[in-house]
Amino acid sequence: MTKRTSLWWRTVVAWAVAAVAVVAPAGSAHADTTPPNLPNGFGLTQVEPAVGDAHDFYLTITTPRVSGEQHIRIILPRGYYDDPNRRYPVLYFLHGSPDDPVDQAYPALSMSDRMITVIPDGGARSWYANWLNQNTVLGAQNWENFHLDQVVPFIDANLRTLATRKSRAVAGISMGGFGAFHYAQARPDLFGQTASLSGDIDLSANSMDLRMAVVASVTDALGAMCASSSGTCDPNNSPYKPGVDSDALFGSPYPVFNVDWRWNQVDPSQHMDRLKNTGIFIYTGDGGGSPLNLEFWVAGASKNVKARMDALGMSYYYVNYGDGSGWGTACDGSHSAGCWAQSLLDLVPRLERAFAS
């Protein structure tokens, strides 16, 4: 279920958030159902009133960088309004495919009283990139520019952030794991910490299965498309329609005569040296050892990246929770929300400590 088909769901979420806010204990001047007023700017135009309460709300915006309406969800610490002089580090959390910021229900994202969490829209299959072909039926697809050149300065201008590299982190699940490493490598001046939770962080020719899963989402290839999904996926009601050409994202994906050079250019596994001064966190399961489970291939990608970092003598935090039997109560080692929920419960306190240090 995505924003493209979930107007009813968003309404229910809005009612639920409002209901929770009404009974929530006071603790700030804004302990009601009214989100703060964040004025337009940096190319972002709000097309609807903010939905949620003073601490957890989302904006619906348009931008020339990306076609259509997009959501930006913002989760503020419970004590945010108590001290008008206090500033906070920021976690940018990138959702997976084909999800939506509104639907990110992981408890850990709302548990921190030490940092702001921002969940920008990544679309159903943006791959957090500026697409090579901007003239498809999808329209403008400059997601990297949208997030790094617009969302980040918008947040810093309107909220009490610590607007420094050491006080920003970018983390994501599945497609968002790729986005997190890609953004941290592309803009090391912005992010001091990065984390991949079951991320597609090796898109080299050595991981053609993951590369083809990306292509499947772009072209709306049934079957493989659903296998690449981190959210709800129904082949009969595909969130990846309409399909576009396989070359639209990064050019040709096929490793013949170096025509796939753009894929190699954005492949996180080939540029880990750019993160030598960045805090790195990687979480993966093993998919039960079955090639039919996407997590099996994600585990291979994570191991490849780990080997690359070892060769470079880099520091990192790495967890392979295998079949998930020791990783919370809802993780089976597959490419699933139960595992990511536990990974976030482990990650968030680590980020808080990294920010504090």
- What are the pLDDT digits (tens) for 3-23? 444 433 343 334 333 333 333
Residue type, 259: V
**What average pLDDT does the segment 47-69 reach?**
97
Per-residue confidence (pLDDT) for residue 225, from 0 to 100: 55
Distances in Å between the alpha carbon of 205 and those of 178, 210, 211, 282, 299? 16, 9, 8, 21, 16
Residue 274 confidence (pLDDT) above 90: yes
Cα–Cα distance measured from residue 294 to residue 229, given in angstroms and rounded to the nearest whole number = 9
Backbone angles phi, psi at 301, to 5 degrees: -65, -45
Domain total in the chain = 1
3-state secondary structure 177-213: HHHHHHHHHHCCCCCCEEEEECCCCCCCHHHHHHHHH
Residue 171: both structure tokens together: 């983390």
Report yes or no on 340 lying in a domain.
Answer: yes
**Element holding 169 (H helix, E strand):** strand 168-173
Residue 158 confidence (pLDDT) above 90: yes
What DSSP character marks residue 308?
A: H
Per-residue confidence (pLDDT) for residue 117, from 0 to 100: 98
- Name the 3-class secondary structure at 302: helix
Per-residue confidence (pLDDT) for residue 28, from 0 to 100: 40
User: Could you check whether the bond before residue 242 is cis, i.e. omega within 30 degrees of 0?
Assistant: yes
Residue 310: both structure tokens together: 């070892």
Give the pLDDT band (50/70/90) at residue 223. Answer: low
Report yes or no on 75 lying in a domain.
Answer: yes
Report yes or no on 225 lying in a domain.
Answer: yes
Q: Where are the alpha helices (DSSP H) in the chain?
A: 7-23, 143-145, 152-158, 175-186, 208-219, 224-227, 261-266, 294-312, 337-356
Cα–Cα distance measured from residue 74 to residue 28, given in angstroms and rounded to the nearest whole number = 17
The residue with tokens 């790495």 is 318
Report yes or no on 123 lying in a domain.
Answer: yes
Return the C-alpha torsion angle 254, 257, 259, 261, nearest 10.
100
126-143 pLDDT, tens per residue? 999 999 999 999 999 999
Q: What mean pLDDT value characterizes the chain? A: 90
**What average pLDDT does the segment 72-101 reach?**
97
Name the residue range of residue 188's domain: 7-356
Report yes or no on 2 lying in a domain.
Answer: no
CATH number for the domain harbouring residue 212: 3.40.50.1820
Report yes or no on 239 lying in a domain.
Answer: yes
Q: How many C-beta atoms surround the C-beta of residue 305 within 10 A?
A: 25
Cα–Cα distance measured from residue 126 to residue 176, given in angstroms and rounded to the nearest whole number = 10
Report yes or no on 180 lying in a domain.
Answer: yes
Report yes or no on 120 lying in a domain.
Answer: yes
